[in-house]
């Protein structure tokens, strides 16, 4: 799975270590309650990033491998003849269960799914069903894989084009702000808050 998100969020968090945060607050004009809120948001971001790393590790080590195996095994099965018709039908049910667990940010698995769903949508064109004809909907829910792919793809496009693009620009600006002599603490606080939101989103979707 593409871990660019996690890498960039982690790098941002490392730039803003606890000592750096305290140094920023010491030279800021924030009121006591504003400083407390800043610290709380910072702690939330760091804690959520720990959760994201754990969720990412679980997905990579436990969830993803059997999904990838099932997808890669199904591709050659789609090219086989009538002797594979029974196996093709039986494996589709398993494949649907696996596909439903694909994380929408998993580019590699989404690409594999993109290869498979158009073939599944038109079983009458598969070599396996040349003699027997296409199976009915109860055996072969032809649109399920397409629906899973399109929903995941919609989520991914929405995330990359809206949420992450804006956050990434803010992260770059906040990181540059650290290098200036007169740091804008409120601007940095805003970015930390947004990063905490993204981290929470990732922790729920991994």
Q: Any alpha helices (H) in 84-184, and if so which ranges?
A: 85-99, 107-121, 144-158, 165-179
pLDDT reported for residue 84: 96
pLDDT value at position 117? 98
Out of 35-44, 70-79, 106-115, 158-167, which region has the weakest mean confidence (pLDDT)?
Answer: 158-167
pLDDT in tens, 96-118: 999 999 999 899 999 999 999 99
Distance CA 2, CA 108 (A): 8
Greatest pairwise CA separation for the chain in angstroms: 79
Q: Do the Cβ atoms of 132 and 85 come closer than 8 Å?
A: yes
Residue that has been written with the tokens 């660019």 in this structure: 4
Q: Which long-range contacts (CB under 8 A, 24 or more apart) does 14-18 make?
A: 15/175, 15/178, 16/42, 16/174, 16/178, 16/188, 16/192, 18/42
Region 161-176 average pLDDT? 77
108: DSSP letter: H
Distances (CA, A) of 73 to 26, 58, 122, 129: 59, 23, 19, 19
Looking at residue 9, what is its pLDDT? 83
Q: Are 98 and 71 in contact (CB under 8 A)?
A: yes
Indicate the average pLDDT of the chain: 89
Half-sphere exposure of 124 (CA within 13 A, CB side): 2
Range from 24-33, 87-96, 146-155 carrying the lowest mean pLDDT: 24-33
Give 120's contacts (C-beta < 8 A, 6+ positions apart): 78, 92, 140, 142, 145, 146
Q: Which residue has the higher pLDDT, 186 or 56?
A: 56
pLDDT of residue 93 exceeding 90: yes
Higher pLDDT, 135 or 166: 135
């Amino acid at each position: 799975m593409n871990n660019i998100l996690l890498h960039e969020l982690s790098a941002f968090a490392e730039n803003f270590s606890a000592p750096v945060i305290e140094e920023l607050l010491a030279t800021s004009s924030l009121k006591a309650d504003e400083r407390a809120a800043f610290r709380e948001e910072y702690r939330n971001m760091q804690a959520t990033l720990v959760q994201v790393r754990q969720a990412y590790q679980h997905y990579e080590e436990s969830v993803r491998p059997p999904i990838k195996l099932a997808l890669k095994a199904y591709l050659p099965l789609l090219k086989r003849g009538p002797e594979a018709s029974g196996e093709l039908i039986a494996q589709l049910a398993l494949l649907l269960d696996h596909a439903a667990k694909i994380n929408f940010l998993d580019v590699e698995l989404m690409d594999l799914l993109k290869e498979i769903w158009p073939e599944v949508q038109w079983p009458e064109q598969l070599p396996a069903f040349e003699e027997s004809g296409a199976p009915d909907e109860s055996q072969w829910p032809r649109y399920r894989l397409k629906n899973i792919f399109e929903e995941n793809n919609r989520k991914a496009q929405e995330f990359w084009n809206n949420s992450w693009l804006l956050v990434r620009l803010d992260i770059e600006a906040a990181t540059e702000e650290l290098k200036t002599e007169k740091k804008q603490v409120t601007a940095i606080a805003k970015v930390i808050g947004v990063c905490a939101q993204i981290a929470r989103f990732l922790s729920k979707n991994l």
